[in-house]
Amino acid sequence: MAGRLGILAGAGELPLRVVEACRAADRPVFVIAFEGAADPALVQGGVPHAWIRLGAAAEGLRILRDNGVEELVLAGGVRRPSWLALRPDWRMAKFLIRVGYRALGDDGLLKAIIAEFEAEGFRVVGADSILDAALAPEGPLGRHRPDAEASEDIALGFRIARALGALDIGQAVVIQQGLVLGVEAIEGTDALIARCAPLRREGPGGVLVKAAKPGQERRADLPTIGPATIAAAHAAGLRGIAVSAGASIVIDRAALIAAADEAGLFVIGVATS
Amino acid sequence: MAGRLGILAGAGELPLRVVEACRAADRPVFVIAFEGAADPALVQGGVPHAWIRLGAAAEGLRILRDNGVEELVLAGGVRRPSWLALRPDWRMAKFLIRVGYRALGDDGLLKAIIAEFEAEGFRVVGADSILDAALAPEGPLGRHRPDAEASEDIALGFRIARALGALDIGQAVVIQQGLVLGVEAIEGTDALIARCAPLRREGPGGVLVKAAKPGQERRADLPTIGPATIAAAHAAGLRGIAVSAGASIVIDRAALIAAADEAGLFVIGVATS
The DSSP line for B165-220 is HHTTS-SEEEEETTEEEEE-STT-HHHHHHHHTTTPPSSS--EEEE-PPTT--TTS
Query: Residues A56-68: what's their mean pLDDT?
Result: 94
Query: Measured between alpha carbons, how far is B122 from B114 in angstroms, rounded to an integer?
Result: 9
Q: Are A239 and A271 in contact (CB under 8 A)?
A: no
**Assembly ipTM:** 0.86
Kindly state the DSSP code that residue A125 receives in the 8-state scheme: E
Q: Cα B183 to the chain's mean position, in Å?
A: 16
Residue A195: closest CA among B184, B234, B38: B184
Tens of pLDDT, residues B230-253: 999 999 999 999 999 999 999 999
- Length in residues, chain A: 273
Query: Residues A178-187: what's their mean pLDDT?
Result: 93
Query: Residues B182-192: what's their mean pLDDT?
Result: 92
Q: Which residues, 6+ apart, have CB-to-CB distance to B143 below 8 Å?
A: B261
pLDDT band (50, 70, 90) for residue A156: very high
Query: Residues A147-171: what's their mean pLDDT?
Result: 93
pLDDT at residue B132 above 80? no
Query: Residues B155-159: what's their mean pLDDT?
Result: 95
User: Looking at the partner chain, which of A105, A184, A201 has a beta carbon nearest the beta carbon of B82?
Assistant: A201
Collapsed DSSP state (helix, strand, coil) of residue A167: coil
Task: Compute the nearest-CA separation of B164 from chain A (Å).
Answer: 8
Instruction: Kindly determine whether residue B164 and residue A183, on different chains, have CB atoms separated by under 8 Å.
Output: yes
pLDDT at B273 (0 to 100):
64
Task: Compute the nearest-CA separation of A135 from chain B (Å).
Answer: 28
Tens of pLDDT, residues B56-78: 999 999 999 999 999 999 998 88
Query: Residues A222-240: what's their mean pLDDT?
Result: 95
Query: Residues B142-169: what's their mean pLDDT?
Result: 94
pLDDT band (50, 70, 90) for residue B85: confident
Instruction: Kindly determine whether residue A169 and residue B183, on different chains, have CB atoms separated by under 8 Å.
Output: yes
CB interface of A with B, residues 142-171, below 8 Å: 152, 160, 163-164, 167, 169-170
pLDDT band (50, 70, 90) for residue A273: low
- Please report, rounded to a whole number, the percentage of residues in chain B having pLDDT higher than 70: 99
Average the pLDDT over each of A144-148, A193-197, B49-53, B73-77 and give the range with the smallest value: B73-77
Cβ-Cβ contacts under 8 Å between A and B: the total is: 100
User: Looking at the partner chain, which of A160, A167, A187 has a beta carbon nearest the beta carbon of B199?
Assistant: A187
pLDDT at A109 (0 to 100):
86
Nearest residue on chain B to A198, judged by CA atoms? Answer: B187
pLDDT at residue A29 above 80? yes
Chain B residues touching A80 at Cβ < 8 A? 179
Instruction: Kindly determine whether residue B178 and residue A84, on different chains, have CB atoms separated by under 8 Å.
Output: no
pLDDT band (50, 70, 90) for residue A2: low
Query: Residues A258-273: what's their mean pLDDT?
Result: 94
Mean pLDDT estimate for chain A: 92
> Between these two residues, A150 and B165, which has the higher pLDDT value?
A150
pLDDT at residue B17 above 70? yes
Tell me if chain A has a CB within 8 Å of the CB of B83. yes
Nearest residue on chain A to B160, judged by CA atoms? Answer: A167
Query: Residues B92-111: what's their mean pLDDT?
Result: 86
Instruction: Kindly determine whether residue B202 and residue A84, on different chains, have CB atoms separated by under 8 Å.
Output: yes
Tens of pLDDT, residues B247-257: 999 999 999 99
pLDDT band (50, 70, 90) for residue B2: low
- Please report, rounded to a whole number, the percentage of residues in chain B having pLDDT higher than 90: 71
Residue B141 φ/ψ region, left for φ over 0, alpha for ψ in the -120 to 50 degree band, beta for the rest: beta
Tell me if chain A has a CB within 8 Å of the CB of B87. no
**Cα dihedral A246, A249, A255, A258 sign:** negative
DSSP B24-48: HTT--EEEEEETTTS-GGGG-SS--
pLDDT at residue B52 above 90? yes
Element (DSSP H or E) covering residue A66: helix A57-66
Chain B residues touching A182 at Cβ < 8 A? 185-187
Q: Are B244 and B269 in contact (CB under 8 A)?
A: yes
Residue A74: closest CA among A43, A103, A115: A115
Nearest residue on chain A to B186, judged by CA atoms? Answer: A181
Q: Which residues, 6+ apart, have CB-to-CB distance to B148 below 8 Å?
A: none
pLDDT at residue A1 above 60? no
Query: Measured between alpha carbons, how far is A252 from A229 in angstroms, rounded to an integer?
Result: 11
User: Looking at the partner chain, which of B82, B84, B181 has a beta carbon nearest the beta carbon of A186?
Assistant: B181
- Length in residues, chain B: 273
Tens of pLDDT, residues A73-105: 999 888 788 888 888 999 999 999 898 887 788
Instruction: Kindly determine whether residue A202 and residue B167, on different chains, have CB atoms separated by under 8 Å.
Output: no
Query: Residues A61-70: what's their mean pLDDT?
Result: 95
Tell me if chain A has a CB within 8 Å of the CB of B80. yes
Nearest residue on chain A to B153, judged by CA atoms? Answer: A102
Tell me if chain B has a CB within 8 Å of the CB of A102. yes
Chain A residues touching B164 at Cβ < 8 A? 164, 183
Backbone angles phi, psi at B261, to 5 degrees: -60, -45
Instruction: Kindly determine whether residue A81 and residue B202, on different chains, have CB atoms separated by under 8 Å.
Output: yes
pLDDT band (50, 70, 90) for residue A248: very high
User: Looking at the partner chain, which of A83, A102, A201 has a beta carbon nearest the beta carbon of B81?
Assistant: A201
Tens of pLDDT, residues A106-155: 888 888 899 999 999 999 999 988 987 789 999 999 999 999 999 999 99
Nearest residue on chain B to A87, judged by CA atoms? Answer: B202
Q: Are B33 and B94 in contact (CB under 8 A)?
A: no
Query: Measured between alpha carbons, how far is B50 from B26 in angstroms, rounded to an integer?
Result: 20
Chain B residues touching A155 at Cβ < 8 A? none
Chain A residues touching B172 at Cβ < 8 A? none
Tell me if chain B has a CB within 8 Å of the CB of A263. no
CB interface of B with A, residues 182-211, below 8 Å: 182-187, 191, 195, 199, 201-203
pLDDT at B74 (0 to 100):
93
Residue A254 φ/ψ region, left for φ over 0, alpha for ψ in the -120 to 50 degree band, beta for the rest: alpha
Tell me if chain B has a CB within 8 Å of the CB of A235. no
